[in-house]
Amino acid sequence: MATLTIDGLQRAYPRDGFALRGVSFDVPDGHLAALIGPSGAGKTSLLRLIAGLDRPDAGQISLGDRDVTQVPAHRRGIGLMFQELALFPHMNVHENVAFGLRMARWRRRARNERVAELLELVGLGAYAGRAVDQLSGGERQRVALARVLAPRPEVLLLDEPLGAIDEERKRWLRSELRDVLRAVGTTALVVSHDLRDAIAIADDVVLMSDGHVLQYGPLSVMSRFPLTAEAASMLGYVTLLQGDVDRGRVRERGVGEIGVPLDAGLTGLMRVMAHPSTMLAVPDGRHLGSGLSGVVVASRPDGPVPLLDIVVGTRHVEARWEWDLDAPRIGTVVEIAVRPDTLRFYGTAPAVAPVDDLAERDGALEDLLARDDEDARPNA
């Protein structure tokens, strides 16, 4: 077990017209971190660099205090679970899981015990002798997981471990994966394009976009305080309003206006974002928190609760209607009610700012935390 530290990693991929720039973050010992980003953000490329399957142009990778940047992949002590699983087709389940142990020269008895232990852990106790091509997709996933865990890697990398699973199964598999990873306690970095994986599995989250890290840190902190609009968007926030700040209010024509908190301290163009989990649609005229109204254009049931598609200005916003359980008719004007302390205000230039200085960012985060706790105290 060790802390994984990535410092200033750079790698250009000229043939793909893409580059990883100044990637820095760390995953503390024993933590589970999720690496989130859209496809093309460079997540898999980064994973391969950390694993040692590729060499960076610059930068450093460390496990604890051990610099492994120049260490060949097979001696790094890092486990990698491939998106494609890459099980050995000519070996059965037992042999697949035992492979890493054989490479590490474990004696036979210890090997067999360890393999049995891991197969039990992933729920495949009786499958040791099975041929790999006779397994279902989910079973193969679990063999791949057992295989990568067997040699007790210091750090574990998982590339889209829930990639090819259908939605139903995913929900259940997420918690299974989390339980297994917590039981083993290894430092782990899970790559996913799906935020829900991160929320279900991870303690920390690393946001990546277009070859660099936007922000990283504990999920609980980042969910509440994304530092940039892009980060907020990746964490599920939606834009309510975008316009110039004038006398303490952000105004957008055709949409409305919202009061800017005093300490936002910015003038000029500003974007106001909110998270759907804190937004509700309410009858017009209630002035319950955002002052923004819009027109209902569609509605669909989310269980017993109607989920409304509301057009605010030119943007579509989704909000639940819990006022009563009769969905308002299409064309009705409704108001978006938001918890005011969950509104986030972002200056819109520059939208993409590589975060380089860890200390500075940590400091900014702490300030925000302290400030918000103060605001939250008087009246909730």
Give the interface segment with another protein, choosing from 70-78, 187-195, 246-254, 303-311 (CB under 8 A). Answer: 70-78
Q: Which residues of 95-104 are buried (b: 16+ CB within 10 A; e: fewer)?
A: bbbbbbbeee
Residue listed under structure tokens 């918000």: 372
Query: Hunting for tokens 């209630």 — which residue is that?
Result: 286
d(CA 219, CA 290): 26
Instruction: Work out how close the CB of 96 gets to another protein at its nearest, in angstroms, rounded to a whole number.
Output: 9
How far is the C-alpha of 198 from the C-alpha of 189, rounded, in Å?
10
Residue type, 25: F
Is 217 one of the binding residues for another protein (CB under 8 A)? no
Query: Taking the complex as a whole, how short is the minimal distance between the CB of residue 165 and another protein, in angstroms?
Result: 15
297 scored as a contact of another protein (CB under 8 A) = no
The first and second tokens of residue 87, run together, are 């099980």
Nearest Cα to 104, choosing from 64, 154, 145? 154
Candidate residues 23, 68, 78, 122; the one interacting with another protein per rule CB under 8 A:
78
Would you count residue 74 as binding another protein (CB under 8 A)?
yes
Q: Does 131 bind another protein (CB under 8 A)?
A: no
Near another protein by CB under 8 A: residue from 100, 226, 294, 313: 100
Q: What is the per-residue binding string for another protein in 4-43, x denoting contact by CB under 8 A? A: ----------------------------------------
**Pick from 58, 86, 131, 297: which binds another protein (CB under 8 A)?**
86
Contact 240, 290 (CB under 8 A): yes
Longest dimension (CA), the chain: 75
The stretch near another protein (CB under 8 A) out of 67-75, 207-215, 287-295, 363-371 is 67-75
The answer to whether 107 contacts another protein (rule: CB under 8 A) is: no
Considering the rule CB under 8 A, would residue 151 count as an interface residue with another protein? Answer: yes
Residue 142 in the binding site for another protein (CB under 8 A): no
Backbone angles phi, psi at 29, to 5 degrees: -50, 125
Among 83-91, 165-173, 270-278, 288-296, the segment contacting another protein (CB under 8 A): 83-91
CB 90 → another protein: shortest distance, Å? 4
- Residue number, 100 or 226, with CB nearest to another protein: 100
State yes or no: residue 110 binds another protein (CB under 8 A). Answer: no
Q: How many CB atoms lie within 10 A of CB 320?
A: 15
CA 355 to chain centre: 17
Count, residues near another protein per rule CB under 8 A: 23
The counts of H helices and E strands in the chain are 9, 20
Q: Does 75 bind another protein (CB under 8 A)?
A: yes
Rounded Cα distance, 81 and 119, in Å: 16
Task: Rule CB under 8 A: say whether 51 interacts with another protein.
Answer: yes
State the minimum distance, in angstroms, from the CB of residue 27 to another protein. 18
337: its two tokens? 């009610």
Q: Which one of the spans 34-42, 79-87, 247-255, 281-289 is the region binding another protein (CB under 8 A)?
A: 79-87
Helices (H), the chain: 43-51, 93-103, 108-121, 137-149, 167-184, 195-201, 219-224, 229-234, 358-376
